[in-house]
Structures are given as structure tokens and as C-alpha cells.
Structure 1
């Protein structure tokens, strides 16, 4: 699951470049930064010809079964679902972030970030709905750095996989099955230990 993530153009040089390029390209269309919620308009990376370029898209496909939006797609079953199949074949995207949030069973908010990079690339897909481009984040089984908090996590791409994910359809199935790299975690609470001596 990925229900909230964070984009910070202050600490990430790569994200700052993406935001600046969007400002030059789109002018008054502003992409949200900071804590990102479903239905926010945010910077993502898509194919434009043979280049990867930033665009501003809304997070979440319309939920035709009721209210709300679909924000995630399970990587293991996405090819089986009509809503996601064509997107996986023709409209793959990358969601840059500094990290994402999950909540443990005690409802404590935990922030996950890459161990050695300043930017995280989440695999996604996008589509058009009533002349509006929207995206979802692909998720996969949690690795050992997050599994005690949640059983799902975003499908993460390395810097070297960006072009493969966007342009190489032959690699799509392999990337969908990969285990994401390990993450650091931070939380707003600190565990207290009692010193009995």
C-alpha cells in the first residue's frame, strides 16, 4: 500500500530540477510539493517521444464502483485487470519522491526513505479520464525493512531502471516481480526504555 508520500524540492536536487522544468514548461500550473495526498496534482515522469519528461498528473484513477479513487495497483495482478492492462503496456510512468508514509497497528505514522539516495522512484501507470491525466502507484509485497509495519510497499525502481521501465516493454514483467531495495525509517514517536537500575 502507498497512501501518502512526500516530495521535497529543498533537499532533493533531482526533484528540484523536475519542479523547475515544470515551471518553465507549464508556467502557472503548479505541482504540489510537501506531503502528497490522493487526488493531488503532482510531478511525475512520462515518455515524450524518446525522452523522459516531467508532467503534472492527478493521483488516483476514478473508482467506478463507488466514491473515492483507486490510488494503487497490485503489481502481481495488474496485467489481469482491465483497468490497468493497457496502461502497463503503453502508459508507464515514474513517481519521484523523497519517501512515503505507512501506519503501524498502533496508528503511528512511519516515514520510509532510501538508504543512500536522496530520491525514490516509484513505478506507476497512467491514463486519461475526461481529458484529465491520472496515475496510480504500483505496489508489491513488502521487503524486510517494512513488513513489520505493512505487508505492501511501492514497487521501487533504481536510477538505472528508469529508462527500462518507461521504454522497454520486454522488461515490464521482470520489473513487476522484483523485490524493492531496503529502506530507512523514521517516526514522530520515540520508543522509551525504562532503566530499572
Structure 2
């Protein structure tokens, strides 16, 4: 693991505004995704957040609006939690909303219609221990186990481009994994690293 940069608590608290800025100008979507029950939320809505992902492990996709006018949509979050489940054990957890927001903001900043490919979202403790036994790069107290991390890639964008867009949100950690071609994003302390 490369050099890690840490941010003070004061910077973390003030950086929440940066995440909101990452969504600026994304008030309209030309082709809104289909989601049962979302029409009532979207009608007349000004500000929305959307997540469009594909699971690299099982081929599932999700394309949903999960936040409108300052309110998270619970059924959409539930759908996202299930999508980001530990596919090995078919177990889900409540994903940290900041992690979901960073993924959505990163995708929006990159201005691509390609989905975000998720390599790993939530991991059970057992899955994490198994992965840790095979690789020293897997953290014992991984944010994946806490529902606060995901590993992503976007086919039309480089690791550097994705990481730069994620770092612009200034929420959580961003790790660049060039050899494996993915970016780790989490909602822990603000820091960056290269592996």
C-alpha cells in the first residue's frame, strides 16, 4: 500500500458541502430510469440523485433515483442495499448513504452513460476473512464489512479519472488500484492511496 493522506475532523465536517456541489447541475435527467413508486417523488422535483450500476460478479444492474429534493427514497435505498450485497453469501446490510452519494457524484462528474461496474460492495466478516487469507491488500477491519465501501470501475474511464472524480467529493477514502483496474471508495476518513 502506498502513502496515505489524512484529513482533520474540521475538514471532514466542512467537506459535506463539497459532496452537495458534486451534484450541482444534475437537476434533470433526459431518460429517467423506471422505478416503481418513484413517479410521485419525481413529479415536480428539482434536485435528484441517481445510481446506475452493474454488478461485475453476477451481472445484475440497477438504475434508480434514490434522492429527491433533499429526501432519500427508502424503497430505492433498500433496492441499492440488496444490489450491493455480499454475493458470495447472498447477505445484505444497510449501506452508508455517504458511500452511495460518493458513487453517484463520481459517476455524474464523469458525464458518461456507461454504468459504474461494482466489483465489491458489502462483505460479510466471513467473506472478508476468506479474501484476507488470499491477499495482504484486504484490510482486517475493512470498510466493506461496515457497509461503507465499494470497489468500482467504469469501462470508458481510467482509474485516474475515476479517482479524481471521487476525490472531488472530499468524503471518505479513495484508493487507486492500477494493476487490478479499479478504484476503492469509502465513507471513512478522507484519505487517498495507490496500490
* TM-score normalised by the chain length of structure 1: 0.29
Structure of larger gyration radius: 1
Which has the larger strand fraction?
A: 1
Which has the larger helix fraction?
A: 2
